[in-house]
Amino acid sequence: MSQVKKGDVVKVHYKGTLTADGTMFDSSEGREPLEFTAGAGMVIAGFDNGVLDMKVGEKKTVNIPFMEAYGPKNDQMVFEFDKAQIPAEMGEPEAGMMLEMHDQEGNTLPVEIIEVKETTIVLDGNHHLAGKDLTFDIELVEIGA
């Protein structure tokens, strides 16, 4: 039976949880399996490495330290933004709301409001899983060409 090697197109079902407390943050349950090319950097490094050498039908649990997932939390990605700059149609800002900002090159940056102050809001541009160790239960469904 063949095993996954770099360059193989694979399909997997998965469930992702936070290693610290088991909170589920993503799952392919009820959806088509995730398809990607192993070793091509299409998924986080720890997940990519986790599928190597798996056989079709095999299930495994992979623990991924944050450095092989979304990296460390970057304090420079947390910043204050003037409330007066927020479009009125957005409504009243609240902690937990997600917004989209654009950099000088026009790239979209998702940010989360983490605090609302009198004249500013505090935004966090880190990926919501940055700085977190992750655990994935993976089932290899198919190895393609």
pLDDT of residue 1: 67
Q: pLDDT tens per residue, the chain (145 residues)?
A: 699 999 999 999 999 999 999 999 999 999 999 999 999 999 999 999 999 999 999 999 999 999 999 999 999 999 999 998 888 888 889 999 999 888 889 889 899 999 999 999 999 999 999 999 999 999 999 998 6
CA-closest candidate to residue 33, choices 142, 145, 144:
142
Contact 25/137 with Cβ under 8 angstroms? no
pLDDT of residue 12: 98
Beta strands in the chain (DSSP E): 9-18, 24-27, 34-37, 59-64, 78-82, 98-102, 108-116, 120-124, 134-143
Class of domain 75-124: mainly beta
pLDDT of residue 35: 97
d(C-alpha 134, C-alpha 37), whole Å: 21
pLDDT of residue 145: 60
33 burial type by CB count under 10 A (0-12 exposed, 13-18 middle, 19+ buried): middle
Task: Determine the CATH number of domain 9-71+129-143.
Answer: 3.10.50.40
Domain boundaries, the chain: 9-71+129-143, 75-124
